[in-house]
Amino acid sequence: MNDAIRTGLRGLGQTLITIGVVVLLFCVYELQVTNLITARAQDRLGDSLSRGWAEAPRQGVPGSGVPGQPPPAQPVAAPALGNAFARLYAPSLQGFGSRVLVEGVGVEDLKDGPGHIPTTALPGEVGNAVLSGHRTTYGAPFNRWDELRPGDAVVLETRDTWFTYTISGSEIVAPTAVEVTLPVPRQPGATPTKALLTMTTCNPKYSARQRLIVSAELSATTPKSVGKPPALQGA
């Protein structure tokens, strides 16, 4: 083997090693460092949310007029983009705990946690509240969303209210299937009569080729003054 070939092979080997190291570092960043970034953001947003809820003036709410019944839930105020405004619980997913929801689904918003599409319904409202979150990287809040089954509960916590949604089903769609986010999914122009929740994430894991859509419907509204909803009892 002449010197030119030997030199060429040595250079090729060094190049492949360099590429391998770069790919490895990229994987470590994507799968580990981004999780740390989001964990810190979640801590910061959670503290901010708790302070805001504690400091916000609470308006008087009239009774329901029915003895033994709690007062009606207060409406959720429209949050500013990038702000935390609610917590998300998935009690059927052991170890999930909760995630702070942010308003907005831009690239920077989703680095902080799962986001709410601003043009969609707010928690508890009639219409379709749409959430989006990463399935890998940046905390991967929806990593296990394929494990949710019909009948499972997902709970949204706002300042005064627990909103319990019951999973109705899931499906895989193309990234262009924006009709699932309509007030009445797949029915343009239809007037909503139910409070729905649609949660979207990438599918399969480590790919953005498709979208996993998990659908739910509001099944209970519980003022926080009466304690946790049944879905979170013992959680």
Supply the residues annotated as catalytic.
202
What SS3 string covers the chain?
Answer: CCHHHHHHHHHHHHHHHHHHHHHHHHHHHHHHHHHHHHHHHHHHHHHHHHHHHHHCCCCCCCCCCCCCCCCCCCCCCCCCCCCEEEEEECCCCCCCCEEEEEECCCHHHHHHCCEECCCCCCCCCCEEEEEECCCCCCCCCCCCHHHCCCCCEEEEECCCEEEEEEEEEEEEECCCCHHHHCCCCCCCCCCCCCEEEEEEEEECCCCCCEEEEEEEEEEEEEEHHHCCCHHHCCC
Q: Whole-angstrom Cα distance, residue 60 to residue 42? A: 31
Name residue, tokens 């929801």.
101
